[in-house]
Amino acid sequence: GFVPLVAGTSYIVLVREVMSTTHPGKPFRIDRTVFHGFCFLDDEHTQLSQKLTLDLKTDLLSIASYTNENPAETVHAEMRCRPMELRPEHRVKLDVEGAIARATNVTYKDEFYATIGNNYQGEFKTVEQAWTRRGFDSVHGRP
């Protein structure tokens, strides 16, 4: 069956919002992520709320949820996210054409999603083609 949930991949959007609020205009990095469980969106929890907590001493962002019926928080993920300085040596030009030319295998959208085994739908299904060669991967998404 299908159960609606908040995809773990959407947590990066929450991290971006927290970091752009606490450190405006700065790039950031996520050093460590621990996923504790899914955030299910079912009929029993129609008033689900999310709580984001950033510990400024440890840079640990906690993503939790709770309901009016059950105010005890359930932690879904913890991410260590910190602002960083983007120095010139960090800037690397992505050579898409070169990666494609060196590829030994091309996988198209339907095969890609069938292979990874997740039932991504809609906006989460952005990969059009994946080019790979032994030991290296490159994925092309929608512009």
Residues 3-34: pLDDT tens digits? 566 666 678 888 999 999 999 988 899 989 89
Q: Phi/psi zone of residue 117: left (φ > 0), alpha (ψ -120 to 50 degrees), beta?
A: left
pLDDT for residue 80: 95
Q: Are 2 and 41 in contact (CB under 8 A)?
A: no
**Tokens read off for 28:** 């950031």
pLDDT digit string, tens, across residues 19-76: 999 999 888 999 898 988 777 666 565 677 889 999 999 999 999 988 878 788 889 8
Banded pLDDT at 120 (limits 50, 70, 90):
low
Q: Which residues contact 86 (CB under 8 A, 6 or more apart)?
A: 27
